Amino acid sequence: MATQGSQSEIEVVVEASTTFTNHNQQTVLSIIILKRLLNTFNAILVKFHAGYFRISLSLGSQVFLWKTLNGPSNDTSILRHVLHILHPTPFLVLWSLALFILVLLSLLYLLKCLFHFNTVKTEFLHDVGVNYLFAPWISWLLLLQSAPFIAPKTFPYFVLWWVFVIPLVLLDVKIYGQWFTKGKRFLSTVANPTGQLSVIGNLVGAQAAAYMGWQETSIFLFSLGIVHYFVLFVTLYQHFSGGIQLPGMLSPVFFLYFAAPSVASLAWESIAWAFDIVSKMLFFLSLFLFTSLVFKPNLFKKSMRRFNVAWWAYSFPLTVLALASTEYAQEVKGSIAHILMLLLLSISVLVLLGLMVFTLFNTKMLLSDNDPIVTLLNHLQRVA
């Protein structure tokens, strides 16, 4: 009996020891998995930068395009008629997708600010990186204007407009002020195509203000944007030898050349309540610049060798150009104008769909080690 009791005690001890060992192994395994997940997430935050808001810019502008096409219009074309018949569900799905992507990107960048503030500071001090800080606020303004449940003259629209415009104006003060006050950061030395995002931010803000009926505010923001656009445009046109040279993989940002006048034509239309001669002049300028870039394929040859998030820079300019063409076609009511509108609409949609497919099949390359902006920022950190 004593022997049996001893054996039972030994078995209980062995079982308890085995259970404790298994529990420890599970705990250690959980810690290892959690540590790997944290390291992976930390690596994502390190590589993440404001340039990824190109995706939200593209989706937001596409949503705004289709809301405009679905809105009230005196255009009697077949396209408008078909769009008015369609159920609004596809538009709501697209708007929801754009909102989800923008919220996700915003949360990631907020976490980057919390845990990697020095990297964000380096981005803020970089001549290319700082311009992409306008992108999230432009994206939010585009989604605000296309929101299916917020009317322009309501209190929520008013509050959100201020929330999104104040950071734009603060960035304006920083960037435009240094263009003529800091020797090493004169416009002739820091000018690059991404600088046009600052212009676009002011113009989109002016357009959103005009929808609220704030005529003076919209004119103020439009003036701020258009004056600096022409200054920047002339500077870039002259190609000063002291200016910075963009890496070949960032060549898609040259499409911003025709994005700025396209947005300007739309902003002025919202202020003047008509696609008048000023809007037409800006639209023709953007159309000319678009044509000029199309006939320079070698400019984009290097960037097209391998998928990169910079490819998303193609979509937003094409979409706002297509949007301007719809307003032009509505004003002119000619067959050539409608053919041009259909052509640009088709290109815009196909480019966006193509980018979405490429992104889905190349998710591992979204946070590539050879990202040109990350390379530039790392180099600046080492120099500092």
Q: Are 225 and 264 in contact (CB under 8 A)?
A: yes
Cβ atoms within 10 A of the Cβ of 10, count? 10
Average pLDDT of the chain is 83
Half-sphere CA count of 197, side-chain side, radius 13 A: 29
The residue type of 383 is V
**What pLDDT shows up at residue 249?**
80
Return the residue matching tokens 């002020």. 177
Instruction: State the Cα–Cα distance between residues 350 and 265, nearest whole angstrom.
Output: 24
Number of helices and strands in the chain (H, E)? 15, 0
What does the block give as tokens for 138?
Answer: 């432009």
**What pLDDT shows up at residue 75?**
63
pLDDT tens profile 249-284: 888 899 999 999 999 999 999 999 999 999 999 999
- Tell me: pLDDT of 184 over 70: no
Instruction: State the Cα–Cα distance between residues 123 and 166, nearest whole angstrom.
Output: 20
pLDDT tens profile 51-108: 899 999 999 999 999 988 886 666 666 666 566 666 577 889 999 999 999 999 999 9
**What pLDDT shows up at residue 346?**
93
Confidence class for position 176, pLDDT limits 50, 70, 90: confident
Confidence class for position 36, pLDDT limits 50, 70, 90: confident
Angle between the N-to-C axes of helices 135-146 and 89-115, in degrees from 0 to 180, rounded to the nearest 10: 150
